[in-house]
């Protein structure tokens, strides 16, 4: 069984977030959020293999 990795993408710049999302979606299941509060909620509630986080939200 081929399971895609799960990535949480936390980025407040919509243009950059879309570009990264478009790149990642071909080989990963990507959850995209746009602020730190939502990112923290998703990180706590979900199970992700990788979290890509903009440190300067």
- Portion of the chain with pLDDT greater than 90, in percent: 88
Q: Which residue has better confidence, 18 or 56? A: 18
Residue among 37, 44, 35, 7 at smallest CA distance from 22:
7
**Are 55 and 14 in contact, with CB atoms under 8 Å apart?**
no
**Are 9 and 43 in contact, with CB atoms under 8 Å apart?**
no
Q: Report pLDDT for 57.
A: 78
Long-range contacts of 26-29 (CB under 8 A, 24+ apart): 28/4, 29/4, 29/5
Domain 5-53 has CATH 3.30.450: no
Q: Report pLDDT for 2.
A: 65
pTM: 0.91
**Are 55 and 11 in contact, with CB atoms under 8 Å apart?**
no
pLDDT (tens digit per residue) in 6-26: 999 999 999 999 999 999 999
């Amino acid at each position: 069984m081929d399971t895609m990795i799960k990535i949480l993408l936390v980025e407040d710049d919509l243009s950059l977030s879309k570009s990264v999302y478009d790149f990642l979606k071909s080989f990963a299941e990507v959850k995209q959020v746009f602020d730190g509060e939502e990112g923290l909620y998703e990180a706590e509630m979900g199970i992700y293999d990788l979290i890509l986080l903009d440190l300067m939200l």
